[in-house]
């Protein structure tokens, strides 16, 4: 009965969402106006993270402590967790010549108000937070901001923290590419990928920001189509064997690039020992 009720609630929520009655819950991280961040680095402020190495027993998540002090504290101060740790000018270049430091190229993956555990933080300027981190295949750094979430001012950045084995296999997750020549598994450009595949098909679709940045002049060999415009991708599963990928421009909704992937579908879950082929077409 519990399951039936849960299913019905899901169906109802879906129906309401379709009717435009429900609004998607606000993702707390979306309140951080990281693009408006300014630099206000204070030498007398500090952020320290320990231990420097996590997951010493092979865990893919671990607890750690961030301690911070700020000579000019307020209830607006907050701590952001960044991964990879070089989230600012270490690895980021300004996108436009008008941009001023700090050049933050990633937004925090987690945050908490500096007064969270010490309610007297706004007087003492001292606080600490206990945080659980998940192995993200990249190291971490912690930053103290003042100015609240809407006008963040970068005050201080911590030492780096890493998992002992950051590349340990964990569960699948969406990855953020960092360098321009990543994702080199492409063998050849086609509008119709069919038959046996030698590797997983990856599609990286990115869009965001208020302005367009020109492409680099050199065209990497894996780049088959370029479009300097705002757009999005629609992925349609037509049946068990056939995926249609379409790139559309936001301005007119028309398709400007597309490809299909088709594979023989075999229900490998229906196999028992020795009555299925050793390999299937859908590798
Ligand atoms: C901590 O700061 C937040 C954000 O400014 C505020 O909403 C909250 O009331 C503060 N908590 C305490 C105990 O002062
Ligand atoms: C510190 O925070 C408390 C609780 O929010 C507030 O009552 C008090 O006025 C704040 N003090 C200062 C100096 O901002
Ligand atoms: C898979 O690898 C084989 C052998 O290297 C090659 O002949 C074939 O074209 C590859 N298939 C695809 C879809 O790239
Ligand atoms: C899947 O859909 C494609 C495109 O409509 C069609 O060509 C193909 O025959 C279909 N395959 C199966 C197994 O239904």
List the Cα angle 150/151/155 in 5-degree steps: 125
Tokens encoding 233: 């991708």
Using a 6 Å cutoff on CB, does residue 281 contact ligand 3? Answer: no
* CA 193 to ligand 3: nearest atom: 13
Extents of the domains making up the chain: 23-93+101-165, 175-262
CATH 2.60.40.2840 fits 23-93+101-165, yes or no: yes
pLDDT tens-digit series, residues 5-26? 333 333 333 333 333 333 344 6
Distance (angstroms) between ligand 2 centre and the Cα of 171 equals 43
Nearest protein CA to atom 4 of ligand 2, as residue: 119
Q: How far apart are CA 47 and CA 57, in angstroms?
A: 26
pLDDT tens, 149-175?
A: 999 999 999 999 999 988 876 654 434
Alpha carbon distances (Å) from 124 to 76, 127, 156 = 14, 8, 17
pLDDT per position as a tens digit, 178-235: 444 444 445 566 788 876 655 566 777 777 677 888 888 888 777 778 888 989 899 9
Atom of ligand 3 nearest to the CA of 188: 14
- Cα 243 to ligand 4 centre (Å): 10
């Amino acid at each position: 009965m519990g399951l039936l009720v849960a299913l019905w609630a899901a169906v109802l929520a879906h129906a309401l969402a379709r009717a435009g009655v429900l609004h998607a819950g606000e993702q707390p991280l979306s309140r951080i106006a990281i693009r408006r961040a300014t630099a206000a680095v204070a030498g007398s402020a500090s952020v320290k993270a320990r231990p420097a190495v996590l997951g010493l027993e092979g865990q893919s998540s671990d607890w750690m402590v961030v301690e911070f002090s700020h000579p000019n504290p307020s209830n607006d101060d907050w701590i952001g967790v960044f991964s990879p740790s070089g989230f600012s000018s270490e690895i980021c270049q300004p996108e436009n010549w008008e941009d001023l430091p700090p050049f933050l190229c990633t937004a925090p993956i987690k945050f908490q108000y500096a007064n969270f555990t010490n309610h007297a933080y706004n007087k003492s300027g001292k606080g600490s937070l206990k945080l659980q981190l998940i192995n993200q295949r990249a190291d971490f750094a912690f930053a103290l901001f003042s100015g609240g979430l809407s006008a963040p001012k970068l005050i201080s950045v911590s030492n780096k923290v890493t998992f002992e084995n950051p590349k340990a296999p964990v569960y699948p997750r969406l990855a953020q590419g960092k360098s321009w020549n990543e994702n080199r598994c492409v063998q050849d450009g086609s509008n119709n990928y069919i038959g046996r595949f030698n590797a997983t098909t990856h599609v990286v679709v990115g869009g965001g920001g208020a302005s367009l940045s020109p492409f680099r002049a050199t065209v990497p060999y894996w780049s088959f189509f370029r479009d300097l415009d705002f757009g999005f991708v629609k992925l349609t599963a037509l049946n068990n064997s056939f995926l249609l990928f379409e790139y559309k421009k936001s301005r007119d909704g028309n398709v400007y690039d597309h490809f299909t992937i088709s594979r023989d579908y075999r229900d490998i879950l229906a196999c028992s020992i020795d009555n299925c082929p050793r390999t299937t077409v859908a590798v």
